[in-house]
Amino acid sequence: MSPMTVVEGRHLSLTNLDKVLYPETGTTKGEVLHYCTTTAGPLLAHLHDRPLSFLRYPDGPDGQRFFTKNVPPGTPSWVKTCEVPHSTSGPTRQVLLQDLPSLVWAANLVVELHTPQWTRQAPGVADRLVFDLDPGAPATIVECCAAAQWLYDRLAADGLDAYAKTSGSKGLHLIVPVEPTPSERTTAYARSLAVEAAAALPDLVVHKMTKALRPGKVFIDFSQNAAAKTTAVAYTLRARAAPTVSAPVTWDEIADCTDPQQLTFLFDEIAPRCELHGDLLAPLLDPDRARPLPAAAPSRASAAPPRPGSARGPA
Which residues does the chain have with pLDDT short of 70? 1-2, 296-315
The whole-number pLDDT of residue 91 equals: 86
The whole-number pLDDT of residue 300 equals: 46
Closest CA to 50 of 218, 229, 220: 229
Q: Percent of the chain, pLDDT > 70?
A: 93
The whole-number pLDDT of residue 85 equals: 87
**Model confidence pLDDT, tens digit, residues 262-301:** 999 999 999 999 999 999 999 999 999 999 999 754 444 4
The whole-number pLDDT of residue 88 equals: 73
Phi, psi (rounded to 5 degrees) for 175: -125, 135
The whole-number pLDDT of residue 313 equals: 37
The whole-number pLDDT of residue 212 equals: 84
**Model confidence pLDDT, tens digit, residues 107-122:** 999 999 999 999 999 9
The whole-number pLDDT of residue 138 equals: 97
Other Cβ atoms closer than 10 A to 115: 24
Type of residue at 201: L
